Amino acid sequence: SAVEETSFNLRVGKRLNIKKTKQIASQVVNSVIRNPNTLVWLTQLKEKGQYVYGHSLRSAILSAVFGRHLGITEDKLETLVTGVLLADIGKTKISRKLLNKADSYSENERKIFESHVELGVEILAKDNSIPHDVLTIAETHHERFDGSGYPYGLVGDEIPAMGQIAGIVDTFDAMTSKKPYGKVYSSSQAMEWLFKQKNKLFSAQLVDEFIQAIGLYPAGSPVQLSDGSIGLVLSHNKQKRLKPEILLIRNAQNKVLEKPRFIDLSKKPPFSNKERPCITGALSMTKLGVDVDHILNNFNAPNAVQRMFA
């Protein structure tokens, strides 16, 4: 990917190609404006062994969806996405051995890891064509509302809004992605955790808006239904957020369906007065026991899904 190429070039001493990064940001923003659910689906395609690169792109997609929900103008949205894409660029100057370490960091290792913020700002500051807001995002995306973040320990609204937005999407994707360290949370578990951090690590208002923008069960999230079946969320129903459109991949007997089926939980089945099953909880991608990447790619979700009667 272009994100991976940018990181590789910096590791071997080449210059940052800001033009290419801005093109990616523009494509992400345009896609989100056309169909935000499709882009959120892409955040579920977690590439094995490519956490750092995939994390930057998924976080950028989430920031575009979140920013659009907040009413940020298109040009500012592109700046936000560019900043999130480049927020961790300083990690190219940190050893891969340290970045991929599964055990807890020592105090010295933690300081080295946290230095990626300063290193990233140094890289970005060398290019005069990079907007100042992009540097600000890179510099402040690890600051936290209660002052416990780094590198400056900023408190509350001392943290620029774009830095706060970047911090939320960065944290959410890190929690829901497989990585060398830490457990993987389901989307709803991560949302619940964020909810508990209101006015602690993050602004209460921004946490509430993020949950509204992405949903308790984001597009592409695996969910358990009350009849025992399992499906993937296709898209939100803004009036009935707990009753989204679902792609069923396992039936009530927990058998994988040869042909996944589309159902809309907000509507009764055709020719029936029975209610649809309801969502009882979210599942982690790692616990599904099916190749979700294969399902998503084959069905080009959510646009090319054949909407059959369930």
Per-residue pLDDT band for 16 (boundaries 50, 70, 90) equals low
Lowest mean pLDDT among 150-159, 170-179, 194-203, 286-295: 286-295
Name residues whose C-beta falls within 8 Å of residue 294's C-beta, 6 or more positions apart in sequence: none
Q: Which residue has the higher pLDDT, 196 or 16?
A: 196
User: Looking at the structure, do residues 44 and 169 belong to the same domain, yes or no?
Assistant: yes
Is 208 inside any structural domain?
A: yes
pLDDT digits (tens, 9 = 90+) for 250-305: 999 989 888 888 889 988 887 777 888 999 988 876 666 777 666 655 655 444 33
- Interatomic CA distance for residues 123 and 20, integer angstroms: 16
User: Looking at the structure, do residues 122 and 82 belong to the same domain, yes or no?
Assistant: yes
Name residues whose C-beta falls within 8 Å of residue 229's C-beta, 6 or more positions apart in sequence: 248, 250, 251, 252, 277
Of the residues 214, 231, 248, which one is the last residue of a structural domain? 214
Is 306 inside any structural domain?
A: no
User: Looking at the structure, do residues 196 and 252 belong to the same domain, yes or no?
Assistant: no
Lowest mean pLDDT among 11-20, 160-169, 241-250: 11-20
- Interatomic CA distance for residues 225 and 243, integer angstroms: 11
User: Looking at the structure, do residues 267 and 206 belong to the same domain, yes or no?
Assistant: no
- The confidence score (pLDDT) of residue 308 equals 29
| Whether the predicted pLDDT of 65 surpasses 60 | yes
User: Looking at the structure, do residues 226 and 209 belong to the same domain, yes or no?
Assistant: no
Is 134 inside any structural domain?
A: yes
Lowest mean pLDDT among 2-16, 57-71, 204-218: 2-16
Global pTM value? 0.79
- The confidence score (pLDDT) of residue 302 equals 45
Is 310 inside any structural domain?
A: no
What are the C-alpha distances in Å from 305 to residues 249, 261, 263, 301?
A: 13, 9, 11, 6
User: What percent of the chain is modeled with pLDDT above 90?
Assistant: 43
Consecutive H or E run containing 263: strand 256-264
What are the C-alpha distances in Å from 73 to residues 10, 11, 161, 295?
A: 31, 34, 14, 34
Is 304 inside any structural domain?
A: no
Clarify whether 259 is annotated catalytic: no
| Whether the predicted pLDDT of 45 surpasses 70 | no
Mean pLDDT over the full length of the chain: 83
Of the residues 214, 243, 264, which one is the last residue of a structural domain? 214
Per-residue pLDDT band for 12 (boundaries 50, 70, 90) equals very low
Which of 48, 20, 63 has the alpha carbon at shortest distance from 293?
48
| Whether the predicted pLDDT of 50 surpasses 60 | no
- Interatomic CA distance for residues 40 and 36, integer angstroms: 6
**CA within 13 Å, CB half, 31:** 18
Is 239 inside any structural domain?
A: yes
User: Looking at the structure, do residues 95 and 23 belong to the same domain, yes or no?
Assistant: yes
Written as one letter, the residue type at 272 is: S
- The confidence score (pLDDT) of residue 4 equals 55
User: Of the residues 22, 46, 91, 179, which is catalytic?
Assistant: 91
Q: Which residue has the higher pLDDT, 116 or 39?
A: 116
User: What percent of the chain is modeled with pLDDT above 70?
Assistant: 80
Of the residues 214, 238, 267, which one is the last residue of a structural domain? 214
pLDDT digits (tens, 9 = 90+) for 87-108: 998 998 999 899 889 899 999 9
Structure token digits, residue 203: 């602004």
User: Looking at the structure, do residues 210 and 274 belong to the same domain, yes or no?
Assistant: no
Per-residue pLDDT band for 43 (boundaries 50, 70, 90) equals low
- Interatomic CA distance for residues 215 and 279, integer angstroms: 13
Average pLDDT over residues 177-201: 89
- Interatomic CA distance for residues 90 and 181, integer angstroms: 19
User: Looking at the structure, do residues 208 and 242 belong to the same domain, yes or no?
Assistant: no
User: Looking at the structure, do residues 18 and 97 belong to the same domain, yes or no?
Assistant: yes
CATH number of the domain to which 95 belongs: 1.10.3210.10
User: Looking at the structure, do residues 118 and 178 belong to the same domain, yes or no?
Assistant: yes
- DSSP label at 91? G
| Whether the predicted pLDDT of 11 surpasses 70 | no
Lowest mean pLDDT among 204-208, 223-227, 264-268, 285-289: 285-289
User: Looking at the structure, do residues 10 and 69 belong to the same domain, yes or no?
Assistant: yes
Consecutive H or E run containing 232: strand 230-235
Query: How many domains in the chain?
Result: 2
Q: Got the DSSP string for 166-201? A: HHHHHHHHHHHS--SSSPPPPHHHHHHHHHHTBTTT
User: Looking at the structure, do residues 9 and 74 belong to the same domain, yes or no?
Assistant: yes
The domain of 10 spans 2-214
Is 149 inside any structural domain?
A: yes
